[in-house]
């Protein structure tokens, strides 16, 4: 990210935006991250961005906006806790002509690490969510790297 990169974060809730800004200041990242207190569904202002990463209830609604904001070859990533949200997001990715669409299930499994007897824990969280990723196709006017 540094020295040239910049992160833009859209947060609809004012209290979350203020908390995020406070945390960024604590860790010295306020110059490379801009928190926007607005709904991403009203549009992504930035253009030719390298990535759009979402963690929201209706990511499929942002897919066309993300496509417009991304540069050719850039990535879209979304976290969803349910398969129904994931399915709608992936359908929107196909409809918006993204490529290399993939979804991965996140499974948390604790490991009991002990000398000579390391093994998975007996109990585990069987499901934590899904990550869907895709890439914006290069427009004919752009050359691939």
Output the pLDDT for position 140. Answer: 62
Please list the residues that pair with 131 across neighbouring strands: 79, 104
Same domain, 23 and 55: no
* CATH at 67: 3.40.50.150
Domain annotation covers residue 145:
no
Number of helices and strands in the chain (H, E): 3, 8
Same domain, 55 and 109: yes
Same domain, 6 and 76: no
Same domain, 55 and 34: no
Domain annotation covers residue 10:
yes
Output the pLDDT for position 126. Answer: 76
Neighbours of 7 (CB within 10 A): 15
**Which residue range(s) make up the domain with 16?**
1-38
Among 35, 78, 23, smallest CA distance to 56 is for 78
Domain annotation covers residue 45:
no
Judge residue 60's burial from the number of C-beta atoms within 10 Å of its C-beta, 0-12 exposed, 13-18 middle, 19 or more buried: buried
Q: What is the DSSP letter of 27?
A: T
Mean pLDDT for back-to-back runs of 10 residues, the chain (145 residues): 82 96 95 94 96 96 97 97 97 97 92 94 84 89 58
Neighbours of 106 (CB within 10 A): 12
Number of domains in the chain: 2
């Amino acid at each position: 990210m540094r020295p040239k990169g910049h992160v833009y974060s859209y947060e609809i809730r004012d209290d979350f935006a203020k908390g995020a800004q406070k945390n960024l200041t604590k860790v010295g990242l306020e110059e490379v991250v801009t928190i926007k207190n607005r709904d991403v569904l009203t549009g992504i202002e930035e253009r030719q961005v390298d990535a759009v990463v979402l963690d929201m209830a209706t990511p499929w609604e942002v897919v066309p906006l993300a496509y417009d904001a991304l540069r050719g070859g850039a990535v879209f990533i979304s976290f969803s806790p349910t398969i129904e949200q994931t399915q709608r997001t992936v359908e929107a990715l196909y409809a918006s002509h993204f490529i290399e669409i993939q979804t991965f299930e996140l499974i948390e499994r604790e490991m009991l690490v002990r000398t000579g007897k390391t093994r998975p824990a007996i109990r585990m969280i069987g499901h934590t969510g899904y990550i869907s990723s895709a890439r914006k196709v290069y427009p004919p006017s752009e050359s691939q790297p």
